[in-house]
Amino acid sequence: MTEPNDDTHVPSRRLQNRVEADSESIKRDLVRLVLTIVELVRQLMERQALRRVDEGDLSEEQVEEIGLALMQLAEAVSELQDHFDLTPEDLNLDLGPLGSLLPDDRKQT
């Protein structure tokens, strides 16, 4: 009879092998998640604003305000990415068969 591997009977050891639990990696992963959500919302807001501009629902002043706010938000996200050494690809979660979470804005220009 073979003896079982100690790692199979001690859940904490198996978990330690899979989860990186140092404070810096937790902080970086949390920032990555938050920035991913912020970037998703920013892209959705941008598309909504473009749709409203195309339909003529906004005054010129509103268009300027929305454009400025979206640019400032994009700049803030970019600065935080730089600070935490994240790339735009780091924010784009892979959803398996559904594809990636964030569409690539650079292809739409």
Residue 105: is it exposed, middle or buried by C-beta count within 10 angstroms (0-12/13-18/19+)?
middle
The conformation of residue 107, written as its DSSP 8-state character, comes to G
pLDDT recorded at residue 109:
37
Tens digits of residue pLDDT in 10-57? 555 555 556 567 888 888 889 889 998 998 898 899 999 999 999 998
What is the distance, to the nearest Å, from the Cα of residue 77 to the centroid of all Cα atoms in its chain? 10
- HSE at residue 32, side-chain half, CA atoms within 13 A, is 15
Tens digits of residue pLDDT in 65-108? 999 999 999 999 899 999 989 988 888 877 777 777 777 654 44
pLDDT recorded at residue 106:
46
pTM of model > 0.85: no
pLDDT recorded at residue 43:
87
